[in-house]
Amino acid sequence: MHIIYRTDIIPGVLNLTGRCFLLSERKKVLLGILTVFVLFSVLVTGTVAGLIISNYDHLGRMMQVIGLIKTDYLKPVTPTQLIDGAMKGIVDSLGDQYSVYLDPKENKQMFDQIEGRFGGVGIVLSLKDDKHLVVLKPIKNSPADRAGIKAGDIIVKIDNVDTSTITQEKAVNMMRGKEGTKVTLTVFRESAKKNLTFIVTREAISVPTVEGEMLPGSSDIAYINISQFSSDTDKELDQVISDLQPKHPKGIILDLRYDHGGELNAAVNSAGYFVPNGQPVVYIVDKYGNTEVHKPDKNEYLGLPVVVLVNEETASAAEILSGAIRDYKTGTLIGTKTFGKGIVQTIYQLDGGSGVKLTTAKYLTPNKSDINLKGIEPDVKVELGTGQTVVQPPDSVSDFDDQLKKAIEVLRTKM
C-alpha cells in the first residue's frame, strides 16, 4: 500500500513547490525525493526477497502446483480462477470456520443476510425437527403464504430434489434465489394425507427479527423475541417497545433462545433498553490488545424487571446482550448455558465485488469476561421438558414450555 502512496505524492510535491525554488534547490529536492524513493524500493525488494528465501520450500511447492496445473491438468484454467482459489485457500489456512473469502456472489448474499433481505418464498422453518423440513409458518403475504403453504407442512422435495438427502442449510439455499425466479416445492400435508406440489415465484423477503406481544394470560408481562440481529433489529425493537408501552407492562421476558447473533451495532443499541444509561455494553479487543468500548446510541433504559431466556443456541451478538444484562444484574438469565461465541468478524471489501470475512477480535462483557468457547451460565438453570418445543412467540398458554413457565414465575417475584 505504501508504494502507491509514494508514487502518488511526487507530482503533488513538485506542483506545490516548483515555482518557489531556484533551479538548484529544485534539483536538491528532486534528488532528496529520489533518494528516499530508491531507498524505499530497495527496502521493499529486500523484504520480499527475505520472505521468499525464508519460505523457499512452501513457495517451491506452490510453483510446482501452478506449473503442473498449467501443463498437465486436462482442462485449461485461467490465472484468475487459480488466484481466486488461492485466496480461498489462504483464508482457510487459518483453520477458523468463521473466516472465509467471499467471491462476488457470496459477498452479496452475506450482505443480504446481514440486512435481513433476500429473494425467497417466505417460509420460516421449524427448528423442532432436525430430520424434517417442517414449515413453522409462512411469512404473512409472502409468495408461500399466497400459494397456500401452511404451518405444519413438511417440505419433501425442492425442485424435485429429495430433501432427506440434503442438509437443512442446503435446502434453505435452494429455496432462496433471485427475485422473479420460480421454485417447485412438494409438501406433505398431514391433514390431507398426501403430497401437494406448489410452483412459487421468489420475491424480496424481509424477515422481521423482533416480535413482541403481551404474554397470553398475563396482562402485565411483555414478551419480546429477537430471532437474530440484522442491521435493522434495533429499529424494529424501538417500534415493538413503543407499541407495547401503552399497555403498561410491569415486567419483560426477553427471549433470545435460538438467536444466533448477527450485527454487533444492532445488539449494542438493543442493549440500551436493558442496561443502565451511559454504560459500556461490550469491549472489543483486537490482536494487538487495542480495546474499543461500545455503548448504545441512545439513553433509553426501561428500568423494568427483566428475565432473559437463553439456551445452547443463543450465540454471538445475542450473547453480548445477555452478557451485559447479566453483568449489570438488570435481569435474570433463565434456561441453559449459551453457545460461547466470543469472537467478532469483520468483512473487508476487496476489488471487483469480492470480500474477505476474518475473525479480527474477541469481545469481553462489561465485567471483562471472555465467554468464547465457554458460554454464559444462566442464573436459573432450566431444561425443556421432554418432548417440549419452543414456540416463539407463544400464541396461547398451551404453548408455554418449562423455561418460559420458570421465566414467568421468576419475573412475578421481581414485579
The beta strand positions in 234-342, using DSSP E, are 251-255, 282-286, 291-294, 306-310, 331-335
Q: Copy the grid coordinates of residue 200.
A: 412459487
Phi-psi sector, 355: left (phi>0), alpha (psi -120 to 50), beta: beta
Contact map string, positions 6 to 35, toward another protein, x by CB under 8 A = -x----------------------------
Contact positions with another protein (CB under 8 A) in 96-115: 96, 99, 101
Q: How many CA atoms lie within 13 A of 119 on its CB side?
A: 14
250 Cβ contact list (under 8 Å, min separation 6): 220, 221, 304, 305, 415
Residue 45 vs 239, nearer CB to another protein: 45
398 is catalytic: no
Contact positions with another protein (CB under 8 A) in 352-371: 352, 354, 356, 358-362
10 within 8 A of 29, measured Cβ to Cβ: no
153 is catalytic: no
DSSP state of 168: H
* CA–CA dist 403, 399 (Å, integer): 11
110 within 8 A of 98, measured Cβ to Cβ: no
Residue 84 vs 379, nearer CB to another protein: 84
Q: How far is the CB of 196 from another protein (least distance, A)?
A: 18
* CA–CA dist 29, 31 (Å, integer): 5
Determine, following the binding rule CB under 8 A, whether residue 151 of this chain makes contact with another protein.
no
Contact positions with another protein (CB under 8 A) in 235-264: none
Interface with another protein by CB under 8 A: which range of 50-58, 224-232, 250-258, 376-384? 50-58
184 within 8 A of 196, measured Cβ to Cβ: no
327 is catalytic: yes
Among 9, 13, 36, 94, binds another protein (CB under 8 A): 94
Contact map string, positions 155 to 194, toward another protein, x by CB under 8 A = ---------xxxx--x------------------------
Contact positions with another protein (CB under 8 A) in 306-335: none
Among 217, 239, 297, 348, binds another protein (CB under 8 A): 348
Among 210, 252, 275, 343, binds another protein (CB under 8 A): 343
Catalytic residues: 316, 327, 341
